Homo-oligomer: A and B are copies of this chain.
Amino acid sequence: MTFFDTLDILGTAAFAISGALSAMNRKLDLFGIFIIAFVTSIGGGTVRDILIGNTPVSWMQNTLNIYLIGGITILSIIFRNKLDYLKKSLFLFDTIGLGIFTIIGVETGINAGLAPIVSIALGAMTGCFGGVIRDILCNEIPVIFRKEIYATASIAGGICFMILYSLDVNQNIIYTSTTLFIITIRLLVVWYKVSLPLFTVTNNTDK
């Protein structure tokens, strides 16, 4: 198993926990918890695979991840109060998943021979779309449009990845440092309550 595979498993597990916690917070039933854990975990990679034409999509070719998500969800349900006791645990797992899945997306784009800017976009989509689909299914405004700088951290990480990649840095070092970079940005941003500027028009004439 390569370092890349290990990261994939860690990201899948982190997003599964984040999804399961999120579903329990929204008081969904048992099936809803599994579905949301699953969608949060594989949604980003599925969108990525569909966009580049890598079908049948990854999780269909690698059933290991399905069992992993199932097991993680059961553990999350059993230890739900302990996980929640660790305040901010949902936020933390979500951030770890974001960091790891972003670099997997960028790497996939590079391997498919896509332009750097497209690979960065692919990384951001792989990182963010699990959460976006989760929020759309729950009929909420997607996470990327809420106050926190979510996708921006992912894009910054993608740019960092491309720079290190063009400098021929060792691959595992790129993976590790980019992931930590994304996690650090998001934590710092939330800690210091940074937010992006708003631009509003003088006369709001919504269509």
Contact = CB atoms under 8 A, between A and B. Distances in A.
A50 B52 contact: no
A199 B80 contact: yes
How many copies of the shown chain assemble into the complex? 3
A63 B202 contact: no
A122 B59 CA distance: 12
Contact of A60 (B114, B140, B196): B114
A75 interface: no
A136 to B, nearest CB: 6
A28 interface: yes
Nearest to A204: B25
Contact of A151 (B31, B57, B115, B200): B31
Contacts of A118: 56, 59-60, 63, 66
Interface residues of A, number: 69
Interface stretch (A8-16, A86-94, A159-167, A177-185): A86-94
A111 B96 CA distance: 37
A63 to B, nearest CB: 5
A138 B140 CA distance: 9
Interface stretch (A98-106, A141-149, A168-176): A141-149
Contacts of A201: 21, 24-25, 80-81, 83-84
Interface in A1-49: 21-22, 24-33, 35, 46
10 contacts: A24-B199, A31-B196, A33-B199, A50-B50, A66-B117, A80-B199, A87-B205, A137-B145, A138-B141, A139-B139
Given A25-B206, A46-B51, 18 more contacts: A22-B207, A25-B201, A28-B198, A29-B196, A31-B196, A32-B196, A33-B199, A35-B151, A50-B50, A51-B55, A51-B60, A52-B55, A53-B56, A80-B199, A83-B201, A94-B207, A136-B136, A137-B142
The 7 residue pairs across chains A and B that have the minimum distance between CB atoms: A53-B55, A29-B196, A30-B196, A84-B201, A52-B56, A25-B206, A63-B115
